[in-house]
Structure 1
Amino acid sequence: MKASQARFIADAEAGSLLHIDLGALVSNWRFMRDRAGDAEASAVVKADAYGTGIETTVPALYRAGCRTFFVAHLSEAVRARTVAPEATIYVLNGLPPGTCEVYREFELRPVLGSLDEFEEWAAFCRAQGQKLKAAVHFDTGMHRLGLTVAQGLNLKNDSRLKDFEPALLMSHFASAEERDNPLNRRQIEAFSAIRQSLPGIPCSLANSSGILREEKPHFELVRPGYALYGGNPTPDQANPMRPVVSLQSRIIQLRTVEEGEGVGYNSRWTARGKRRLATLSIGYADGYPRSASSIGVSGEATTRGMAIVADRLCPFAGTVSMDLIIVDVTDVPENDVKRGDLVTLIGGELTIDEVGRRAGTIGYEILTSLGRRYARTHREAEF
Structure 2
Amino acid sequence: MSPFDTPENAGHGAILTVDLAALVANWRMLKQRAGTEAAAVVKANAYGIGIEPAVTALAKAGCKSFFVAHLSEAIRARAVAPDATIYVLNGLAPETGGAYAEHDLSPVLGSHEELLEWAGFRQSGAKVRPAALHVDTAMNRLGLWPGEGLDLAREKSGVIAAAGIGLVMSHFAASEVIDDPANARQISAFAEIAAAFPGVSASLLNSSGHFLPGCPSYQLTRPGYALYGGNPTPGKPNPMQPVVGLEAQILQVREVEAGTQVGYNGTWTAKGRRKLATICLGYADGYPRNASWTDRSQGGSALVGGVRCPFVGTVSMDLIIIDVSEAPAEAAKRGSAVTLIGGELDLEAVGAGAKTIGYEILTSLGRRHARHYVGL
Q: TM-score range by the shorter chain?
A: over 0.9
For 2:280, the equivalent position in structure 1 comes to 281
Q: In the alignment, is the contact (CA less than 8 A) between 1:211 and 1:217 conserved in 2?
A: no
For 1:72, the equivalent position in structure 2 comes to 69
For 2:53, the equivalent position in structure 1 comes to 56
Alpha carbon RMSD of aligned pairs, Å?
1.2
Q: In the alignment, is the contact (CA less than 8 A) between 2:105 and 2:129 conserved in 1?
A: no
Tell me the alpha carbon deviations over residues 243-287 of structure 1, each in whole angstroms, 9 at most, x when there is no partner.
Answer: 000000000111111221110000000112221110000000100
Q: In the alignment, is the contact (CA less than 8 A) between 1:40 and 1:221 conserved in 2?
A: yes
Distance in 1 separating the partners of 2:259 and 2:179: 49
TM-score by length of 1: 0.94
Read off the aligned partner of 2:252 and give its amino acid letter.
Q
Distance in 2 separating the partners of 1:306 and 1:226: 22
Q: In the alignment, is the contact (CA less than 8 A) between 1:131 and 1:165 conserved in 2?
A: no
Segments of 5+ residues of structure 2 without an aligned counterpart are 1-6
User: After the TM superposition, which residues 42-53 of structure 1 pair with which residues of structure 2 at under 5 Å, given as runs?
Assistant: 42-53=39-50
TM-score by length of 2: 0.96
**1:232 is paired with a residue of what secondary structure?**
coil
**Alpha-carbon spacing, 1:195–1:259, altered in 2? closer, same or farther (3 Å):** same
For 2:32, the equivalent position in structure 1 comes to 34
Distance in 1 separating the partners of 2:62 and 2:310: 42
For 2:14, the equivalent position in structure 1 comes to 16
**Alpha-carbon spacing, 1:87–1:130, altered in 2? closer, same or farther (3 Å):** closer
For 2:165, the equivalent position in structure 1 comes to 166
Read off the aligned partner of 2:232 and give its amino acid letter.
P
For 2:146, the equivalent position in structure 1 comes to 149
Distance in 2 separating the partners of 1:41 and 1:196: 20
For 2:251, the equivalent position in structure 1 comes to 252
Q: In the alignment, is the contact (CA less than 8 A) between 2:115 and 2:163 conserved in 1?
A: no
For 1:25, the equivalent position in structure 2 comes to 23
Distance in 2 separating the partners of 1:28 and 1:346: 18
Distance in 1 separating the partners of 2:311 and 2:129: 54
Tell me the alpha carbon deviations over residues 171-210 of structure 1, each in whole angstroms, 9 at most, x when there is no partner.
Answer: 0011111111111111111111112222110000000111
Distance in 1 separating the partners of 2:362 and 2:375: 19
**1:11 is paired with a residue of what secondary structure?**
coil
Distance in 2 separating the partners of 1:271 and 1:184: 47
For 2:342, the equivalent position in structure 1 comes to 347
For 2:332, the equivalent position in structure 1 comes to 337
For 1:267, the equivalent position in structure 2 comes to 266
Deviation at 1:217, TM superposition (A): 2.0
Distance in 2 separating the partners of 1:82 and 1:209: 29
User: After the TM superposition, which residues 193-204 of structure 1 pair with which residues of structure 2 at under 5 Å, given as runs?
Assistant: 193-204=192-203
Tell me the alpha carbon deviations over residues 192-247 of structure 1, each in whole angstroms, 9 at most, x when there is no partner.
Answer: 11122221100000001111111132111000100000001111211100000000
**2:73 is paired with a residue of what secondary structure?**
helix
Distance in 2 separating the partners of 1:345 and 1:140: 38
Q: In the alignment, is the contact (CA less than 8 A) between 1:131 and 1:163 conserved in 2?
A: no
Read off the aligned partner of 2:59 and give its amino acid letter.
Y
**1:29 is paired with a residue of what secondary structure?**
helix
Distance in 2 separating the partners of 1:76 and 1:214: 33
Q: In the alignment, is the contact (CA less than 8 A) between 2:302 and 2:311 conserved in 1?
A: yes
Deviation at 1:123, TM superposition (A): 0.7
How many pairs were matched up? 368
User: After the TM superposition, which residues 118-197 of structure 1 pair with which residues of structure 2 at under 5 Å, given as runs?
Assistant: 118-128=115-125, 130=127, 132-156=129-153, 157=155, 159-197=158-196
Distance in 2 separating the partners of 1:130 and 1:241: 39
Percent identity among equivalent residues?
56
